C-alpha cells in the first residue's frame, strides 16, 4: 500500500480536546503546536490574494463551432460547423483557412455544383434553412487507412429533425474535399420518404410508409457524426442530437459507407440507424464523440447537454464502457438508455465557471472531441462562449488526465505545455488556500463561482461553507478530496493559468457525477 499525505478524518467523529483537534502539526523549531494554530498560520495573509494575482485571458484567434480535431504531421487541425476550419502548432493559437457556406469556400470542390439549377446533391432532401441558405454542420475528418484518403463526414440540415449525413474525400488534410454521397436521412414521413435512400435499403419495411410524421422520440436526428477506429481496427460512426438519442453504426473502411446491420430489437439495433446507445424523447443530448484509450481499456463517450447558446446551460458530460457498443455508464454506475430525465446522468466534466484571475466568465462549453497526442497526453477540444459577449465563441483545448479509477478529468485552464508530474507532490507543496469550483450536475445558466477553502496540513479541508478531508498518494499525482459525504478522486498538477499566474491545481470527479476544480495561486 502506498503511503499517503493527509489523514482521513470523519468530521463528525473527530476526537477533540476542548475546541482543538488532538492532531498536531510540527512547528519550525520542532515543538508541537495545535492544528488550529497551524491552520491559522497557513491562512494568514490570504485576504490579499486576489489583489496580488494577475488578471487576464487569451484569444484563440478564430471562431470554430463544434470543432473536430485531427493531427497531421506536426500541425493540429480543427474542422467545424459552417465550413470553418483552422490549424495550430500549439493548441492555443489558431489560424483559419476556410470560412463560409458558399461556393467561394475552397474547402470543397463540388459541394455547390448545380446550385444555379436547384438544390445541390447534398441538399436535395433537406433543402434550404429558414434563413434561405444552406446548413453544413459538425464535420469530422478522419484519415481512412484503406482508402488512403482524408474523409470528412458532415451533416446538412434544415430543421430540428430534417437532416442527413454525407461524406467527402480529399488527398490532403486541407482539401479540397469532394462530396461523394449522402447515406443517412432523418425527419421524413410517407410524403417525402422517397427522396431518401430508405426505400432502396429497407424494401418492404412498413415503418417509413405508415407514419404521418417522423417519430423523433425514438429515431435520431442525423447530425453530429463522429468517426473513429476501435481497438481492433474496425471503423465506427456515432451520431445524433436530441430527438431519439445517440446511435452507433459500423463503417466499411473499404468504401466509407455504413454497414447496415440486421435488426435486433432486444439489443436496441435498428437495421437502418444502427444501435441506440442512450438518450431519446428529445432530451438535450448531442455532439457525441467516442475515444478509445488503450491505457485504461475504456471507450469514453463524450456528450454535450443543454442548449448551445451562452445562457443555454451547454456543458460536457462523460460515459464509459469496455466495449465499443455499450452499455455506457456514468461515474455513478448508471446507464441512460431507458431513463428520460438526463440531468443527473453522465459525469459533468465542465459547465459555466470563472476564477479570480480570469477577466472572462466562461459559458456553455461543448461540441467536443478528444485525442491522444504522440507523447501520450490526452486533450479535450471544444468551443467556448463567454458572458457579456453574446454568442461569440472560440475553440479551447484543455489537457485530460486519467484518475486512478479510470475516469477522465480536465485541467482547469487551457493547455500551455504543462506536464503531469507522475511522482506527484508532497503534502507541504499541496497544502494552502485553494479556490474551489464545483460544476454540479445542473443544466442551467448558473455560473459556478469559486469558493475559498484551505487544504490543511492535518488532512482537513476548511472553508466558510465547506468542510472535509483530503489525501494525496505519495509518489503519484493522485488526490482524494472528501466534502461532506462525497469523495472526489483526481489528480494534482502545476500549470500556468490564462492570465499568466503559476498555479497548483487539482481536478477530481465524484461518484455523484460532479467534477470539482481547485486552484492555488503560487504568488512570489
Which 8-state DSSP code applies to residue 263? Answer: P
Of the candidates 66, 84, 270, 473, the residue annotated as catalytic is 66
Q: How far apart are CA 425 and CA 473, in angstroms?
A: 9
Counting beta carbons within 10 angstroms of the beta carbon of residue 465, is it exposed (0 to 12), middle (13 to 18) or buried (19 or more)?
A: exposed
pLDDT of residue 25: 33
DSSP code per residue over 462-476: EESS-EEEEEEETTS
Its pTM stands at 0.91
Task: Look at phi and psi of residue 144 and say left if phi exceeds 0, alpha if psi is from -120 to 50, else beta.
Answer: beta
Distances (CA, A) of 18 to 21, 36, 199, 488: 8, 12, 80, 31
Cα distances (Å, whole numbers) of residue 175 to 182, 305, 368, 392: 19, 31, 22, 27
223 contacts 163 by C-beta, under 8 angstroms: yes
Radius of gyration of the chain (CA): 25
DSSP codes of every residue in 3-21: -EES----GGG--EETTEE
Contact yes or no for 372/293 (Cβ under 8 A): yes
How many angstroms separate the CA atoms of 425 and 516, rounded? 19
Catalytic residue of the set 42, 286, 458, 498: 286
Sheet with 163-170, edge to edge strand ranges: 135-144, 149-157, 163-170, 178-186
Q: What is the pLDDT of residues 339-391, one digit of tens each?
A: 668 999 999 999 999 999 999 999 999 999 999 999 999 999 999 999 999 99
What is the C-alpha separation between 316 and 382, in angstroms, rounded? 9
Per-residue model confidence (pLDDT) at position 251? 99
Active site residue 66: yes
CATH 2.40.128.10 fits 4-57+420-521, yes or no: yes
Taking the CA atoms of 141, 145, 149 and 151 in sequence, report the sign of the dihedral they define: negative
Neighbouring residues of 478: CB distance < 8 A, sequence distance ≥ 6: 403, 404, 424, 472, 489, 490, 491, 492
**DSSP track, 334-358:** ---SS-S--TTSSEEEE-SB--TTB
Concatenating the DSSP letter of every residue in 500-512 gives S-EEEEEEEEETT
* Strand arrangement of the beta sheet that strand 235-239 belongs to: 226-229, 235-239, 246-251, 274-278, 269-270
Return the pLDDT at 337: 82
pLDDT mean for each 10 residues of the chain (524 residues): 36 30 30 40 59 96 99 98 99 98 98 94 97 98 98 98 98 99 95 90 74 90 99 99 97 99 95 96 96 99 98 99 98 85 94 98 99 98 98 99 99 98 98 98 98 98 96 98 98 99 99 99 93
Q: State the Cα–Cα distance between residues 83 and 63, nearest whole angstrom.
A: 11
Place of cell 438526463: 342
Whether 104 is a known active-site residue: answer no
Give residue limits of the domains in the chain: 4-57+420-521
Question: Which pLDDT score, from 0 to 100, does residue 47 have?
Answer: 62
Please tell me the distance from the alpha carbon of residue 325 to that of residue 81, in angstroms, as a whole number. 27
DSSP 8-state secondary structure symbol assigned to residue 232: T
What's residue 338's pLDDT?
72
Cβ–Cβ contacts within 10 Å for residue 43, how many?
14
Phi (first) and psi of residue 291, to 5 degrees: -125, 125
**pLDDT, tens digit (0-9, with 9 covering 90-100), for 396-443:** 999 999 999 999 999 999 999 999 999 999 999 999 999 999 999 999
Q: Please, are residues 517 and 446 in contact by the beta-carbon 8 Å criterion? A: no
Exposed/middle/buried for residue 122 (C-beta within 10 Å: 0-12, 13-18, 19+)? buried
* Exposure of 301 in the CB half-sphere (CA atoms within 13 A): 32
Average pLDDT of the chain?
Answer: 91
Task: Using alpha carbons, select from 256, 234, 233, 232 the residue that is nearest to residue 170.
Answer: 256
Amino acid at each position: 500500500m502506498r503511503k499517503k499525505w493527509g489523514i482521513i478524518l470523519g468530521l463528525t467523529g473527530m476526537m477533540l480536546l476542548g475546541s482543538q483537534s488532538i492532531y498536531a502539526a510540527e512547528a519550525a523549531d520542532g515543538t508541537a503546536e495545535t492544528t488550529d494554530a497551524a491552520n491559522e498560520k497557513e491562512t494568514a495573509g490570504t485576504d490579499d490574494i486576489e489583489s496580488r494575482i494577475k488578471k487576464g485571458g487569451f484569444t484563440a484567434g478564430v471562431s470554430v463551432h463544434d470543432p473536430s480535431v485531427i493531427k497531421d504531421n506536426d500541425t493540429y487541425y480543427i474542422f467545424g460547423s459552417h465550413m470553418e476550419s483552422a490549424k495550430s502548432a500549439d493548441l492555443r493559437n489558431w489560424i483559419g483557412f476556410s470560412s463560409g457556406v458558399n461556393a467561394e469556400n475552397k474547402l470543397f470542390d463540388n459541394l455547390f455544383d448545380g446550385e444555379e439549377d436547384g438544390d445541390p446533391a447534398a441538399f436535395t432532401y433537406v433543402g434550404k434553412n429558414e434563413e434561405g441558405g444552406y446548413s453544413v454542420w459538425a464535420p469530422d475528418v478522419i484519415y481512412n487507412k484503406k482508402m488512403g484518403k482524408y474523409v470528412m463526414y458532415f451533416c446538412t440540415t434544415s430543421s430540428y429533425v430534417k437532416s442527413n449525413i454525407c461524406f467527402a474525400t480529399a488527398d490532403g488534410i486541407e482539401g479540397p474535399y469532394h462530396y461523394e454521397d449522402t447515406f443517412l436521412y432523418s425527419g421524413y414521413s410517407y410524403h417525402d420518404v422517397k427522396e431518401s435512400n430508405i426505400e432502396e435499403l429497407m424494401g418492404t419495411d412498413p415503418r417509413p410508409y405508415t407514419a404521418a410524421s417522423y417519430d423523433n422520440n425514438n429515431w435520431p436526428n442525423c447530425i453530429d457524426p463522429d468517426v473513429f477506429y476501435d481497438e481492433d481496427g474496425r471503423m465506427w460512426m456515432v451520431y445524433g442530437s436530441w430527438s431519439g438519442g445517440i446511435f452507433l453504426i459500423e463503417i466499411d473502411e473499404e468504401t466509407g459507407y455504413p454497414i447496415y446491420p440486421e435488426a435486433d430489437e432486444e439489443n436496441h439495433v435498428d437495421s437502418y440507424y444502427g444501435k441506440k446507445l442512450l438518450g431519446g424523447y428529445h432530451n438535450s443530448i448531442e455532439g457525441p464523440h467516442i475515444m478509445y484509450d488503450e491505457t485504461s481499456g475504456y471507450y469514453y463517450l463524450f456528450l454535450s447537454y443543454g442548449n448551445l447558446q451562452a445562457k443555454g446551460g451547454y456543458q460536457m458530460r462523460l460515459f464509459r464502457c469496455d466495449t465499443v457498443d455499450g452499455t455506457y455508464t456514468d461515474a455513478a454506475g448508471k446507464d441512460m438508455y431507458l431513463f428520460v430525465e438526463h440531468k443527473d446522468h453522465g459525469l459533468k466534466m465542465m459547465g459555466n465557471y470563472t476564477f479570480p484571475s480570469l477577466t472572462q466568465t466562461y459559458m456553455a462549453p461543448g461540441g467536443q472531441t478528444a485525442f491522444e497526442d504522440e507523447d501520450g497526453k490526452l486533450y479535450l477540444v471544444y468551443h467556448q462562449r463567454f458572458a457579456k459577449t453574446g454568442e461569440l465563441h472560440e475553440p479551447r483545448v484543455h489537457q485530460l488526465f486519467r484518475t486512478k479509477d479510470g475516469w477522465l478529468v480536465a485541467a482547469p485552464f487551457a493547455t500551455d505545455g504543462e506536464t503531469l508530474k507522475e511522482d506527484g507532490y508532497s503534502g507541504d507543496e499541496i497544502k494552502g488556500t485553494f479556490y474551489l469550483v464545483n460544476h454540479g450536475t445542473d443544466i442551467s445558466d448558473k455560473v459556478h463561482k469559486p469558493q475559498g477553502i484551505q487544504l490543511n496540513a492535518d488532512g482537513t479541508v476548511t472553508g466558510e461553507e465547506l468542510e472535509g478531508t483530503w489525501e494525496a498518494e505519495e509518489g503519484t499525482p493522485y488526490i482524494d478530496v472528501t466534502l461532506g459525504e462525497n469523495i472526489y478522486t483526481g489528480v494534482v498538477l502545476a500549470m500556468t493559468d490564462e492570465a499568466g499566474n503559476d498555479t497548483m491545481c487539482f481536478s477530481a470527479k465524484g461518484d455523484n457525477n460532479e467534477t470539482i476544480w481547485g486552484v492555488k495561486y503560487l504568488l512570489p
